[in-house]
Amino acid sequence: MQQDDLPDDTPLSSVVLTGRAEHVARRANIKTVGDLRKMSDFDLACLPECGKITQLEFRLLTGQSRPGRPTKSDQLLKGEWVRAVYSGACDCSFEDWRKERDNAAG
């Protein structure tokens, strides 16, 4: 079976991954191929210890294209969110924080 033919409900534990990719997926609570397919390039880039090679491994596993680089504005937003978390002003995920921020601005 080719990697892009894997059903979304395929557990990552049944797929051959490098040790680093297994570690990153376990820490991020990514359990299935479908979980990976739902993640954007930016989401992958923000995972702790998920370097470019691990990102590429995940993208190849899911049959998606080569990972892209986060835009400068995404990087700035991520930095703003991290500062909010460390200051205690925020205790939600980046995606939730970003939605709240966009709704407040819109």
CATH superfamily of 3-61: 5' to 3' exonuclease, C-terminal subdomain (1.10.150.20)
Name the one residue in this structure whose structure tokens are 């986060």.
70
The stretch 38-46 carries a mean pLDDT of: 83
Written as six digits, the tokens of 15 are 């797929």
pTM for the model: 0.56
Ranges of H-type helices in the chain: 19-27, 33-37, 41-45, 52-61, 72-87, 94-105
Confirm if 10 and 37 have CB atoms less than 8 A apart: no
pLDDT digits (tens, 9 = 90+) for 72-103: 666 677 778 777 777 888 777 777 888 888 88
> How far apart, in Å, are the Cα atoms of 33 and each of 4, 13, 57, 98?
10, 10, 12, 25
What are the residue boundaries of the structural domains of the chain, listed by start? 3-61, 72-105
